[in-house]
């Protein structure tokens, strides 16, 4: 960690020591609410970049999907409509199966495992993203995923026919395999979806339930610890390659700091938001054994499906992860 801070600060000082130069102005769309830890972390990252590059790159964060909605952000960076942004990559699994590696049920279901998996997949992910004109800067996990309902649920049979809000293809598939009816809704719009009855359940973190005050519409949160999907901050490759090397290094230093602080923000937000859901009146606790067992079977099916889609490249990453 000291090394990371050292890099960022040293790079910042060396550039700041030069004359103040009128810098690049970058817009950074983020999809989640301003109060969310990813957004707060992104703002701290943007500030770090301004300082560490001596003002050569100034980033303005646009939270809450205000500039581009989650579903539009990746394309906006690729096409250069914006220079940088944050996206839940697993929502693009249909383009490249490797993007979905963090949403395979029960493959990596703790914070430590999520970091290990990310370490194993990072080189492949960077390569695939470069082919799409994107440079990966940092990635931060959401807290573990659990199930939200507006009734008590003790088995997969209890879920039959429920309208289920999904956020990527893995969550839609989970709905299919549990007999629920998936409807894809952005996090920024879930309060409305629950209020109007478009959706009546979801799988997500305590963080998103808390951010969207879901206790106004839902009653139960079951801890499942299914997986920890990640948000990735990416830069348009041309914008990145246009930067001087020392500016790139300063930004990379800030990105390493953001990965570290984002991880801990996520860990801390987990307990805080569990308590927040309970304070809001929800019943919060672990899913029962029967339900967990049934979900694990579904997880095994989804793992097989993913491995089939991801081919040798995917299998190699999973093998490297398991060997750690």
**Site membership for ligand PCA, residue 169 (CB under 6 A):** no
Q: What's the CA gap between 310 and 307, in Å, rounded?
A: 5
Q: Find the binder of ligand PCA among 45, 118, 138, 142 (CB under 6 A).
A: 142
Q: What's the CA gap between 195 and 214, in Å, rounded?
A: 9
Spell out the residues 6+ positions from residue 70 whose beta carbon is closer than 8 angstroms to its own.
Answer: 31, 32, 87, 88, 91, 186, 187, 188
Q: Find the binder of ligand PCA among 83, 208, 236, 261 (CB under 6 A).
A: 208
**Site membership for ligand PCA, residue 26 (CB under 6 A):** no
- Token pair, residue 254, equals 């800030």
**Site membership for ligand PCA, residue 222 (CB under 6 A):** no
DSSP 252-282: HHHHHHHHHHHHHHHHHHHHHHHHHHHHTT-
Hey, which residues between 257 and 316 contact ligand PCA (CB under 6 A)? Answer: none
Q: Find the binder of ligand PCA among 88, 98, 147, 224 (CB under 6 A).
A: 88
**Site membership for ligand PCA, residue 205 (CB under 6 A):** yes
**Site membership for ligand PCA, residue 204 (CB under 6 A):** yes
Residue (64 or 229) nearer to ligand PCA, CB: 229
Residue (253 or 276) nearer to ligand PCA, CB: 276
CA nearest neighbour of 55 among 28, 83, 24: 24
Spell out the residues 6+ positions from residue 323 whose beta carbon is closer than 8 angstroms to its own.
Answer: none
Q: Among 43-51, 109-117, 155-163, 200-208, which window interacts with ligand PCA (CB under 6 A)?
A: 200-208
**Site membership for ligand PCA, residue 187 (CB under 6 A):** yes
Residue (38 or 135) nearer to ligand PCA, CB: 38
Residue (26 or 37) nearer to ligand PCA, CB: 37
Q: Among 76-84, 122-130, 203-211, 232-240, which window interacts with ligand PCA (CB under 6 A)?
A: 203-211
CB of 173 to ligand PCA, least distance (A): 15
**Site membership for ligand PCA, residue 194 (CB under 6 A):** no
Q: What are phi and psi of 143, to 5 degrees?
A: -65, 165
**Site membership for ligand PCA, residue 146 (CB under 6 A):** no
In this structure, are residues 179 and 270 in contact, taking their beta carbons and an 8 Å threshold? no
In this structure, are residues 105 and 174 in contact, taking their beta carbons and an 8 Å threshold? yes
Query: Which residue lies nearest ligand PCA, judged by its C-beta?
Result: 205
Q: Find the binder of ligand PCA among 26, 37, 167, 321 (CB under 6 A).
A: 167
Q: Among 12-20, 42-50, 204-212, 240-248, which window interacts with ligand PCA (CB under 6 A)?
A: 204-212
CA 53 to chain centroid, in Å, comes to 26
Looking up tokens 């490297």 gives 320
Helix or strand or coil: residue 234?
strand
C-alpha torsion angle, residues 118, 121, 126, 127 (rounded to 10): 180
**Site membership for ligand PCA, residue 59 (CB under 6 A):** no
Residue ranges that bind ligand PCA, judged by CB under 6 A: 88, 142, 167, 187, 204-205, 207-208, 229
């Amino acid at each position: 960690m000291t090394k990371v801070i050292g890099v960022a600060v040293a790079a910042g000082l060396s550039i700041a020591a030069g004359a103040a130069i009128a810098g690049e102005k970058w817009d950074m769309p983020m999809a989640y609410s301003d109060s969310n830890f990813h957004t707060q972390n992104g703002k701290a990252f943007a500030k770090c970049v301004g300082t560490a590059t001596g003002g050569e790159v100034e980033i303005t964060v646009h939270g809450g999907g205000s500039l581009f909605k989650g579903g539009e952000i990746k394309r906006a960076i690729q096409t250069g409509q914006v220079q940088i942004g944050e996206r839940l990559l697993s929502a693009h699994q249909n383009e490249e199966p490797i993007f979905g590696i963090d949403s395979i049920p029960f493959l990596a279901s703790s914070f430590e495992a999520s970091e290990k998996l990310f370490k194993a997949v990072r080189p492949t992910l960077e390569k695939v993203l470069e082919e799409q004109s994107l440079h990966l800067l940092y990635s931060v996990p959401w807290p573990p995923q659990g199930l939200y309902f507006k009734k008590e649920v003790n088995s997969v049979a209890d879920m039959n026919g429920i309208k289920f809000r999904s956020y990527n293809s893995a969550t839609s598939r989970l709905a299919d395999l549990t007999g629920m009816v998936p409807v894809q809704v952005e996090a920024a719009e879930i309060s409305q979806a629950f209020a109007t009855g478009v959706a009546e359940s979801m799988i997500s973190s305590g963080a998103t339930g808390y951010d969207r005050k879901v206790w106004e519409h839902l009653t139960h949160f079951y801890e499942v610890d299914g997986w920890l999907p990640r948000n990735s901050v990416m830069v348009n490759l041309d914008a990145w390659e246009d930067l001087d090397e020392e500016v790139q290094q300063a930004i990379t230093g800030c990105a390493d700091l953001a990965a570290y602080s984002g991880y801990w923000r996520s860990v801390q937000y987990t307990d805080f938001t569990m308590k927040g859901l309970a304070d809001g009146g929800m019943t919060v606790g672990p899913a029962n054994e029967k339900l967990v067992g049934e979900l694990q079977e579904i997880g095994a099916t989804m793992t097989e499906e993913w491995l089939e889609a991801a081919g040798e490249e995917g299998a190699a990453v999973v093998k490297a992860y398991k060997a750690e």
